[in-house]
Amino acid sequence: MMDWTDRHCRYFHRQLSSHARLYTEMVTTGALLQGDPRRHLEFDRAEHPVALQVGGSERDDLGQAARLGARWGYDEINLNCGCPSERVQRGSFGACLMAEPALVADCVKAMLDAVDIPVTVKHRIGVDRREDYSFVRDFVGTVADAGCRVFIVHARSAWLHGLSPKENREVPPLRYEVGHRLKADFPALSIVLNGGLLTLDAAEEQLAHVDGVMLGRAAYHDPYLLARVDRRLFDADAPVRSRDEIVQLMTAYLRREVAHGTAPRHVVRHLLGLYQGVRGARQWRRQLSDAGVLERDGAEVLLRAASLLASDPALRAA
């Protein structure tokens, strides 16, 4: 979710669900320790619970990055062992780390020694053609021995040669049964399933076998599905906010951000899918994507775009 789940996106998603745990985009240890930490770590306190996802393979650097994340107030530090991009392959981290479980265990131990908050691992179920169950089982077992208690399992293998990152999200087959088997073999661990879950029905079906589910692109492209998460998956009694209410809340946020120098496009790009599946969605996206409209309407762009749709009865009832 690099370049997607930034702080503006997370604030927006928090307006839809009070209980879902939010994750940052992956931030490398180099960016945190040698760049501008504020740029990568700043977040609104309304985002809690929120986890910082880091990428790297040097134990000392990861320990420092975890300490930095805890100091900024994150609730969890997540080590990415699943990203298959060429960039992470050149840096020998991400999915490459699955081939080195002892190294990952050492890194996790260094991170746990540095902080008092949970350190978790997100990983694939295989790398290239190493797809037998024993491979991921031994990876999880080795890292668990170092103290990791939560594993987020993207239920596809990562094919590092011959596939793009996009193809790696689509071509290797989904094998949810691997996550189910991990939970059976490691009942004391929390196993969270990720990959290809597009609806709350699909998520609920998997929760019969594992401890949690992670939604990625489905929640980004159709964010309003998060509005039903609290009631359906967390048994919360709070009313579901309407899209109109979300627009009002995000307009207040946008006004604050613009007053501090943020360009409106950096916020509104995350709301393009708010009306996904509703009549008028195309017009909504067109308004928020038009540079001229953004320049003209500024912090009021969400309200004005919504007002163009207000005469549609289907939207008034949404």
Residues with a known catalytic role: 83
Q: At what angle do helices 301-309 and 243-259 cross, to 10 degrees?
A: 160
Tokens of 31: 């960016």
Count the neighbouring beta carbons within 10 Å of the beta carbon of residue 284: 24
Name residue 104's amino acid: V
Name residue 259's amino acid: A
Name residue 217's amino acid: R
Per the CB < 8 A criterion, the answer to whether 76 and 51 are in contact is yes
Per the CB < 8 A criterion, the answer to whether 37 and 64 are in contact is no
* Helix ranges, the chain (H): 7-16, 29-34, 37-41, 59-72, 86-90, 101-114, 133-145, 165-168, 176-185, 200-206, 217-221, 229-234, 243-259, 264-268, 281-289, 291-297, 301-309, 313-316
Per the CB < 8 A criterion, the answer to whether 105 and 145 are in contact is yes
